[in-house]
Structures are given as C-alpha cells and as structure tokens.
Amino acid sequence: MAVMTYIEAVTLALKEEMLRDKDVFILGEDVGHKGGVFRATDGLFKEFGEQRVMDSPLSESAIAGVGIGAAMYGKRPVAEMQFADFIMPAVNQIISEAAKIRYRSNNDWQCPITIRAPYGGGVHGALYHSQSVEAIFANQPGLKIVMPSSPYDVKGLLKASIRDNDPVLFFEHKRAYRLLKEDVPEEDYVIPIGEAAIKREGDDVTVITYGLCVHMALQAAETLEKEGIQAHVLDLRTVYPLDQEAIIEAAKKTGKVLLITEDNKEGSIISEVAAIIGEHCLFDLDAPIQRLAGPDVPSMPYAQPMEKFFLINEDDVERAIRDLAEY
Amino acid sequence: MAVENITMPQLGESVTEGTINSWLVKVGDHVEKYEPIADIMTDKVTAEVPSSFSGTISELLAEEGDTIAVGDVMCKIEVEQMEQVEATDDEINEEPPLLTTNRNDDDTSMKKRYSPAVLRLAQEHAIDLTIISGSGRGGRITRKDVERFIERGHTGEVNQEAVTEQTPSPVYERMAHDIEIPVKGVRKVIADHIVKSKTEIPHAWMTVEVDVTNLVNYRNKIKQSFKKNEGFNISYFSFFINAVTQALKEYPQLNSTWAGDKIIQRKDINISIAVAKEEELFVPVIKQADEKNIKAIARSVNDLATRARTGQLTNEDMQDGTFTVNNTGTFGSISSMGIINHPQGAILQVESIVKRPVVINNMIAIRDMVNLSLSLDHRILDGLVCGRFMARVKEILEQTSEETANVY
Amino acid sequence: MTKNRHQALGLTDEDVFEMYRLMLLSRKIDERMWLLNRAGKIPFVVSCQGQEAAQVGAAYALNKEIDYVAPYYRDMGIVLGFGMTVKEVMLQAFAKAEDPNSGGRQMPGHFGQKKNRILTGSSPVTTQVPHAVGVALAAEMDDEKIVSFVSLGEGSSNQGDFHEGLNFAGVHKLPVITMVQNNGYAISVPLDKQIACESVADRAIGYGMPGYTVDGNDPLAVYEVVKQARDYAISGKGPTLIEANTVRLTAHSSDDDDRLYREKDELEAMKKQDPMVTFVKYLRDENILTEENEAKLHEEIDKLINEATDYAEEAPFAKPEHALKHVYEE
C-alpha cells in the first residue's frame, strides 16, 4: 500500500497491464520520450520500448483509427487523446466505427480499445483545455464511458477498461491528477465497469455525481455533518451505460436528490440520471430533483473571474445540499 | 510601507502544489519586481519564480524542500509604496447571495403541499397528515417527519389543536331527480364492518405477478373429465386457495389476529371466501382448508357459493375465518386493494388471469399472467415476511402443472 | 519461345482463367442484384461493374491465406477473391440471418468476414484506411509477415482519414497497400472537381511512400503493381499508394440516376474500355478462352447464382428482437 496521486495510479495501472499482457500497448501524442504532457506515461517508454509506447503523429483520427484496426487484429491498444477537447477529429472513428464494430458485424469482430483523455476545468485551460465531453458520447450504445473520482478507482477501473472486450472511453480529470492522493494497493485488482459506488452513507439528501465533483460532494458532506445534515453520496463511476439500479436505490433512500456535473447543464449525464429517477421513484420523492451544473455557454473562459464563475465549487455543493435538506 | 504576500503560482495545467527547491533570497534582501526569488519544482516543470513587487523580503514562510499548495503564501515582502494593485477577482466577485431562504417559523405556506413520498406513506399507514407538524421549509411535512411519526407508533409530535378540532360531518342535500336509498340490513352491517376494519387496521399493500400458464393448461385439460366424474366444476380459484393454504402453513404469521397487547397466531387455517349476491356480500368459510386436497376445496367452494346464492348459509358457515381469499378476478379486475376482513391479519385478492406478452430469456412469449394483491395489517406484519409468503404462493402456483399437480 | 504477358508475370494459363472467372462472377452477381432491386426484392445495390479487373487483379496478387483486406463498398471482386461465397453475398443482399457480413444489419456492400480476414466496414467513407494501418502495426508488433490491403474510391482520398492513415503508415513504414480505384466520379462530382493534382498517386510523395498509377481495366497490370507493392512491404520497406484508373458502368447506386450528370456518349466510350470486353479479347487471342469453355463457364456461373439467389430468398430473417443482441460482449 502506498499513497499515490490520481495520475500515478493511471501510470501504475498502465504499467501493470503492460506487464500482464504483451498485447497491451500505448499510442498517442507525446506519450513516448516525454512521458505524456501530464506525465501519465512517465517511465513506460524506457521500460517497454518504442513499439509499445508509441509516439504518433499529431492526428487524433489516426490515433483512434489505427488503434481500432490493431484492436480488431487482436491487440489491446490504449490510445491517448492529449486533451478531451481534441477528441473531436476522432469522433467519426469512435462513434461510427468503434461503437458499432461488434454490432454491425453480428458479433464477428470486436474492438477492445481504451481511449484515455484528460478532461475538466479549473486549470486556466480556457475554452479548449477545460471541457467535459462525455455527454457527446453518452447516447452511443456500444461505447462504455468511465470517469473515476479517486486514485483507488483509477487503478481498478483503468485495468478493467483495458481488459474489456468493448471500446471504453476513460476520462481523467486534469485537476484531480495531482490534487487527489490516497492509499492504492500494490496488488492486482479490478473494479467492474457499469457499477456505481456509494462513497458515503446518509439519510437526508442523496447526491449523485461523478469525477472530481465526487470529491467536492464528500467535502461538503463533511462540513454539513456538523450541522446535522447527512448526505448520501453515490459516485456513478461509469457514466454510460448508467447503473440504473444503484441510482434508483440511492434516490429512494432519502427522496431528496441533488445531481452534480461540471459539464454544461442541458443534455448532460445528470439530465439522464434525473430522467431515470423521474421514471422510477415518483412515490419516494420528497422534493424536486435538483441539478447543479455549469452554465449553458459553449465552454469555460480563460480569465480567472469568468472561469471561477463557470466552475461549480464546494460552496455551491454545500449550499445546494443544505437547501434540499431544509426543503 | 505595506506588506504584500507572494503566493505559490500554478506552474502547469494540472499542478496543484509546488516544492521549494531553493530560496534565491533571504530575509532583508532587497528585490526588484520580476527578480527571481525562489527555484520551484512541480510535477511538470522546474522554474524560477519572480517577485511580483519591488521591496524588502520580510519573512520566508517555508523551508527549502517544503511543498506548498498553489495560492498559499510563500513569503512576505515590504513594499516601498502602495503598488497600483490590480483588482483581484475576490474584489470583483461579490459573494453570491445564499440560496437558502431564511427560515421563518411562522411561515406555514407549505404545510399542505405534500410530496408523493409523504402521500404514499400516509396512505400506507392510514395517517391523517393534519395531525403531523412539518419540519420542512414553510412548515412542509417531510418524508422524514412521517417516517419518524410512524416509528413512534403514531404518538409523537401530535398537533393538539388539529386533534381536538372536530370535523363536522358533511351534509349532502338531495337534488331533484336523485334517489335516496336508506341504509339498513346487510348493507349497514357490511358498511360498519368495513369502516371498523379500515379505521382500526393500518393497511399496507403488496402485489405480485404470477405466471400460471402451466396451471391454466392443466386445468383446461382436466376440466371436462373432472366435471363428468365429479359432477361439479374444478375452478382456478380452488388452486389458488390450495396454494395460499400451503403457504400459510409455512408462514403462520399471516394467519393471525391483532389483540391489542398481543398477537394471536391461529392454529387452524380457515379460509374465508367472498361471495357476492346482488346487494349482499357473504363471506363463508372453508374450515381446516389445510387438510383438504384441491378436489375437496373445489367441492367446498362450490357448495358454499351455491348455498350463499340460494340463501341457505348458516351463521356457523360464516364463523371462525382466519384468512380471506377474494376472487376479484371474476369481475375482470386486474388490480385491487382489499379491505381486511376484521379481525383477520390479511386478505389476498386473486385478480383476472390474462394473456400477456412476457419476456423470458430475452424472448417475448405469450403467457397466462395473474396478479395477486395482498392487504396486510401492518401492526402484525412487515414487508419482509409478507414478501416471502407471496413469493412462496407464487412459487407453488408456477410449479403447478400436469407433471406436478394432482387434484385428488 | 517468347513468353506472353501473363507468363512474364509468373501466372499460368489456369491462373488467368481463374482471374477471369472471378471477374465474370462479380459482374454477374452484380447484374443479378440490379434485377432483384428493380423487381422490388432487395432495397439497395451498389455496384462493382467496370472495376472488376482492378479488384480481382489486386486480390490475386495478395496472399489470401494470411493477408488482411479492408475493402470498400464496391469491392465484390476483392471479397470473392478472399473467399466469400456467392451464397454469402446473396444472403447479404437479402439481409438474411445467415449473412456472415452482418447478419442482415448492414446494407449490401458493407463487407466483413473475420475467418477470411475481411475487416468489417461502414458507410462513412475512408474510415477503413486507419484500420488497415492498425492491422499492419499490430502484425508488425507480432512479427507476422503479412500485408494489410485497403481499398477506396478517389473521392474518398480527399477525406482526413486518408491523410492521417497514410501519413501514419509512412512515418512508421508499415506494410500497408492502399489502392484507390479511380472511376472518375464521386457520385456525381467529376474528378476535376475532386482533386487539383494530376493523379491521386501524386499524393504518395507527401507521405514518403512510392505512388503508382495503373490501368485499372487491365487485371494483369494491376496484379503486377500490387505484387510489387506486396514484395516491397514484406521486405520491410513500407507502404505503397496505388491509383487504379477504372470506369464506373452503372449509376452510383440503385438510388442514383447518372443520366442527370453524365452524357450518354461518355458512357458508350467507357463501355469500350470495359475489362470484361478487353480481357476476354486477350484470353481469346491467347487461346485460353474458347467458345466451348466460355459457354461452359457462363453456364456454371449462372447456375451458381441462381442457386444462391433461391437459397438466400428462402432463408429466414433474423428474429426482430435479434436487433437487441451484440451491443456489447454477451
């Protein structure tokens, strides 16, 4: 057991899977010599060589497309998009190809690719280094989208993603990379994709969220405990397909539900979560379902006051929980 | 002279902290603006941090090797003159107003706005919401308020004013052409009995769905020959009574009566069945039903129903029931909430058998489906035992087929 | 004794007869599919007519036991050359459960068959180029001496994936053969409105690989250049871009009317270049095709196609709820 940052857990999971299975290889811009612009692949080039930690030309569609071809052949590529914002040129490859390969070939071919991408704001990244892009992919059956909230989950979920026989988008929060630290076991473990996790038990307000917002929710919950408000926090972990059972159970638990995302509000992941709760939990609801999200503007501005305005923070979360508790 | 703070800058997009490799200045040193003051290392870069002010270093707040969070103060500097400090975002951003409205204890505007959860709980536990005081905003009764009220066995937080307040009986005037029917005889007895049951017993409900395709096939197969051999009909209802009786043997908690300070669990399984006759409703009893096979049950049902319709039931025929099975399916009902036959502990409604598309092994099949709805006395029974009982009844019925069942 | 053209390439008389058989089979299946479409029996056809020589010539130059192909929607000649049967093609046309390409999920022309190493394809064009590059990369990691062949139309060579895929292959010197079948039209838009350079093969230099333009109506010429590209790739020298100039004898698809954008005499001129005409002449001149064996071949192929059509028409559809299967691994 060692205390590890979120990004160190990424590196460790990659390393362990590459040692375990020779078919696993990494493909992306600056992943080789430099070890990634965030240092997620630090040391791997040295350990596994150029062919398995491959610097690709600056071309996202090829990173995805070449990875897809290698995956069809039988490899387990881990493709890196340098920023989630730059995944757009690869959307055709991901949605038209990866997501549909098993389905369109009637189970003849499969595409076990993992596409990693750092997402999220609060790092002075402006419009094109701050976005959350999961909602764009979250109505594409055939894809799985994983968004871990802690170093422990990063390791277990990234290993599960690499071993999964279907394409997985693995979004890592940039600000979490060095902000979050915790004990991560050295032994091999996987966390099943598609399962949400209760990160805190409580009986006043249910908070359902994912990614870095889980951290905010837990911090807010701790503060509110002193006021006698007990928040129940469910971490979605996989945002597509959603763990409907866990969502319904968590919503029924308190009947007061706060949904949080860092993404723009309309059409976001939490909008779908709200729909699931609306369909299944009417007679357990004790308050209107609340969504806390970014404003519906195209992306996060650069200037600090505007960036701060866009981002939700611990105080917003705390206020929203208290508001529901008092309802 | 003024003292300014120099804080740890964010060096790199994902960086949240930095380590001081070495100080390039010491306390008392004079530095010009943009002159380097420290060598900082982060996960992404190593860089010299320049001073943001001209002045004299007055305090170093960290040792070399210390790691400091982005935004925290590294050192203090005495500046010669007030710098024209640009407005920081803290100054621009006023604190947003609190979303929470101020609690006003006199405000009761939300007192009668009930959420779906509150309404459901109130119904299930026969609670009059006007006697609960609400802890929510605007005096709203929250789900937790109701749950606490139930936990305390209906005794807590009673609003005395509401309890003592007498609700006057409403007066309904007859309009022209309306017909008045005096309430008397059996109708009056039924009404009194039902009011007693409904006001005294806190009802809760549960419905399960049962696939009786095999049972239907079996019964259809033997229907003709049975009638020919025995002289009376073999009804579905007899199979249901048989299944309930067997399950009651295993879960005697449902064969009980609330007796104030105790619960009486009955040894005999005497099944009451409801038989309707125009304006009247009779509830004769199949005694010791657990000692009867399906044929014997069918004979009793047939016998009791015939005598009810011909007015030949005796008082004795209608006594000592311990559990009621009600054949609401006869009327085409597919869902109903029965009122418990006081002082029994539960009643089971057998709804219509209908053909419905059902998903089995991810394929759609046409199956004969029936809903069984249980009303239970929540003082005696909980969801858990009733759930198990219902699951057992379902299991028995679903396993009833030509291979397994025997009416004799 | 001087060698004739095919002997000079190392091909026997039997080889060229087989090449012709595959070309004729492709043409006749295609013609049957148009009939079925116009009879209202199948909703869609997209044709290979005019491009059979390029397809069969290329398939014949590859190793159909180990090489991978990423065909595009006109590549009937390629998939037949790689082992797909007439019956399987017809099952796809009728969208029946037994169709090995997609079990009736995709339109005709969207090929894919793992056992024959035919990568599954989609409708957005050119996405298959990076896939073929990925296959080549993976094979190289495993030290497998194979080539990955990808085929597309000249219109598709303007897509970003063409550039990204070829550049990647060029940088990493991967064993990829890219063959652009230039039939002069991207649906209705003619070549001069598609590309500004002389030929698609000119683009090869930008990717650091050799580029060749070849007469796509001549199966022997195509065979020669693809064979050369294969040897080049297997010896570790890297990828090749080939442009095969062909003709498109039909409309773009069964939903298109080419009379709106193509003059009649243009089509008549094209018909003179039809490989089914020119190659037959060569084979007759070389005495490989005789009146007798030609008639017999037509008879055999007609019988095969009739049987396959009947079989596919009679075959069951997948159950409706099969639409729910195979979204993820089950």
| Residues C120-153 pLDDT 10s | 999 999 999 999 999 999 999 999 999 999 999 9
Map tokens 């590859």 to a residue.
Answer: C62
Interface size A-B, in CB pairs within 8 Å, comes to: 75
3-state class (DSSP) for residue B310: coil
Give tens-digit pLDDT for A55-71. Answer: 999 999 999 999 999 99
Active site residues of A: 129
- Which token pair is C44? 């869609």
3-state class (DSSP) for residue B4: strand
- What pLDDT was estimated at residue A52? 97
Min Cα separation C205/chain A (Å): 17
Rounded to the nearest integer, the mean pLDDT of chain C is 96
| Chain B environment of A291 (Cβ under 8 Å) | none
Give tens-digit pLDDT for C231-277. Answer: 999 999 999 999 999 999 999 998 999 989 988 888 899 899 999 99
| Chain B environment of A179 (Cβ under 8 Å) | 16
- What pLDDT was estimated at residue B81? 64
Min Cα separation B89/chain A (Å): 5
One-letter amino acid for residue B66 of the chain? D
Residue A84 is given by DSSP the state G
CA C142, CA A133: separation in Å to the nearest integer?
35
Mean per-residue pLDDT for A184-197?
Answer: 96
CB-based contact, B364 to chain A, within 8 Å: no
In the Cβ-directed half-sphere of B267, how many Cα atoms lie within 13 Å?
Answer: 0
| Chain C environment of A62 (Cβ under 8 Å) | 130, 133, 161, 164-165, 167-168
B346-360 and B323-326 beta bridge pairing = parallel
Mean per-residue pLDDT for C214-222?
Answer: 97
Nearest to B264 by CA among B377, B152, B126, B154: B377
CB contact under 8 A, B120 and A38: no
Interface test with B, best of A42, A283, A291 (most B CBs within 10 A): A283
In the Cβ-directed half-sphere of B300, how many Cα atoms lie within 13 Å?
Answer: 25
Min Cα separation A106/chain C (Å): 5
ipTM over the 0.90 cut-off:
yes
Residue extent(s) of CATH 3.30.559.10 domains in chain B: 201-398
- What pLDDT was estimated at residue B100? 42
CB contact under 8 A, C324 and B362: yes
The nearest alpha carbon in chain A to C97 belongs to A106
| Max Cα–Cα distance, chain C, nearest Å | 65
CA B94, CA B235: separation in Å to the nearest integer?
77
* Phi, psi dihedrals of residue A284, rounded to the nearest 5°: -110, -5
CB contact under 8 A, A327 and B142: yes
Interface test with A, best of B8, B13, B135 (most A CBs within 10 A): B13
CA B108, CA A212: separation in Å to the nearest integer?
39
Mean per-residue pLDDT for A26-53?
Answer: 96
In the Cβ-directed half-sphere of A286, how many Cα atoms lie within 13 Å?
Answer: 29
| Chain C environment of A97 (Cβ under 8 Å) | 122, 127, 131
| Chain B environment of C324 (Cβ under 8 Å) | 362
Task: For chain B, 408 residues long, give each residue's pLDDT as a single digit of tens.
Answer: 789 999 988 877 778 888 898 899 999 999 988 888 998 888 777 788 888 888 999 999 999 888 889 889 999 999 876 544 444 444 444 444 444 444 555 788 898 899 999 999 999 998 999 889 899 999 999 999 999 998 887 643 444 434 433 444 456 777 777 887 877 766 777 787 888 888 889 999 999 999 999 999 999 888 898 888 888 888 899 999 999 999 999 999 999 998 888 888 999 999 999 888 777 778 889 999 999 999 899 999 988 888 888 878 887 888 889 999 998 888 888 888 899 988 899 999 999 999 989 888 888 889 999 999 999 999 999 888 999 999 999 999 999 888 887 777
Are A31 and A55 in contact by the 8 Å Cβ rule? The answer is yes
CB contact under 8 A, B117 and A284: yes
One-letter amino acid for residue A2 of the chain? A
Residue extent(s) of CATH 2.40.50.100 domains in chain B: 1-97
Give tens-digit pLDDT for C63-92. Answer: 999 999 999 999 999 999 999 999 999 999
Are C224 and C218 in contact by the 8 Å Cβ rule? The answer is no
Residue C120 region by backbone torsions, left for phi larger than 0, else alpha for psi between -120 and 50, else beta: beta
Q: What is the dihedral of CA A245, A248, A252, A255, to 10 degrees?
A: 160
Residue A186 is given by DSSP the state S
- What pLDDT was estimated at residue B213? 93
CB contact under 8 A, A97 and C133: no
Nearest to B237 by CA among B261, B216, B257: B216
Report the residue count for chain C.
330
- Which token pair is C29? 């299946």
Flag whether pLDDT at C168 surpasses 60. Answer: yes
CB contact under 8 A, A319 and B98: yes
The nearest alpha carbon in chain C to B361 belongs to C321
Q: Measure CB to CB from residue C112 to each of A52, A105, A166 and give the nearest one.
A: A105
The nearest alpha carbon in chain C to B359 belongs to C321
Give tens-digit pLDDT for A208-235. Answer: 999 999 999 999 999 999 999 999 999 9
CB-based contact, B102 to chain A, within 8 Å: no
CB-based contact, C321 to chain B, within 8 Å: yes
CATH topology of domain B201-398: Chloramphenicol Acetyltransferase (3.30.559)
- Which token pair is A204? 């006043």
Q: How far apart are the first and last CA of chain B?
A: 107
Report the alpha-carbon angle A9-A235-A248, nearest 5.
150
CA C129, CA C69: separation in Å to the nearest integer?
10
| Chain A environment of B93 (Cβ under 8 Å) | 305, 308-309
Contact residues for A316 (Cβ-Cβ < 8 A; gap 6+): A292
Contact residues for B125 (Cβ-Cβ < 8 A; gap 6+): B146, B150, B202, B204, B378
CB-based contact, C324 to chain B, within 8 Å: yes
Exposure string for C5-30, b = 16+ CB within 10 A, e = fewer:
ebeebebeeebbeebbebbbbbbbbb
Nearest to C76 by CA among C89, C87, C63: C89
Considering only A286-300, B229-243, C85-99, C214-228, which range has the smallest mean pLDDT? B229-243
Min Cα separation C204/chain B (Å): 39
Active site residues of C: 248, 252, 261
Q: Distances in Å between the alpha carbon of B231 and those of B223, B234, B330, C138? A: 11, 10, 22, 79
* Phi, psi dihedrals of residue A257, rounded to the nearest 5°: -125, 130
Query: Order of strands across the sheet with C148-153?
Result: C68-70, C148-153, C176-182, C240-245, C211-215
Are A246 and A196 in contact by the 8 Å Cβ rule? The answer is yes
Give tens-digit pLDDT for B179-194. Answer: 878 777 667 777 878 8
Interface size A-C, in CB pairs within 8 Å, comes to: 141
- What pLDDT was estimated at residue B46? 79
Q: Measure CB to CB from residue B14 to each of A178, A308, A319 and give the nearest one.
A: A178
CA dihedral sign, ordered B393, B399, B400, B406: negative
In the Cβ-directed half-sphere of A153, how many Cα atoms lie within 13 Å?
Answer: 28
The nearest alpha carbon in chain B to A181 belongs to B16
- What pLDDT was estimated at residue B259? 85
Neighbours of chain A (3+ CB pairs under 8 A): B, C
- What pLDDT was estimated at residue B161? 39
Nearest to C141 by CA among A25, A17, A35: A25
Q: State whether CATH 2.40.50.100 applies to domain B1-97.
A: yes
A53-55 and A24-28 beta bridge pairing = parallel
- Which token pair is B392? 């057992």
| Chain C environment of B362 (Cβ under 8 Å) | 321, 324
Are C221 and C278 in contact by the 8 Å Cβ rule? The answer is no
B378 is an active site residue: yes
Radius of gyration of chain C (CA): 19
C-facing residues of B in 312-371 (CB < 8 A) are: 362-364
Q: What percent of chain C has pLDDT over 90?
A: 93
The nearest alpha carbon in chain A to C132 belongs to A69
Flag whether pLDDT at C215 surpasses 70. Answer: yes
CB contact under 8 A, C167 and A59: yes
Rounded to the nearest integer, the mean pLDDT of chain A is 97
- What pLDDT was estimated at residue A274? 98
* Phi, psi dihedrals of residue A135, rounded to the nearest 5°: -65, -25
- What pLDDT was estimated at residue B170? 56
Min Cα separation B38/chain C (Å): 43
Helix residue ranges per DSSP H, B310-398: 383-398
Are C181 and C73 in contact by the 8 Å Cβ rule? The answer is no
Return the percent helix, strand and coil in chain A, to nearest 5: 40, 20, 40
| Residues β-bridged to residue B76 | B5, B59
Nearest to C276 by CA among C13, C48, C5: C48
* Number of neighbours of residue C278 by Cβ within 10 angstroms: 16
| Chain C environment of A104 (Cβ under 8 Å) | 102, 105-106, 110, 112, 120, 122
Contact residues for B31 (Cβ-Cβ < 8 A; gap 6+): B25, B37, B51, B53, B54, B55, B56, B57, B77
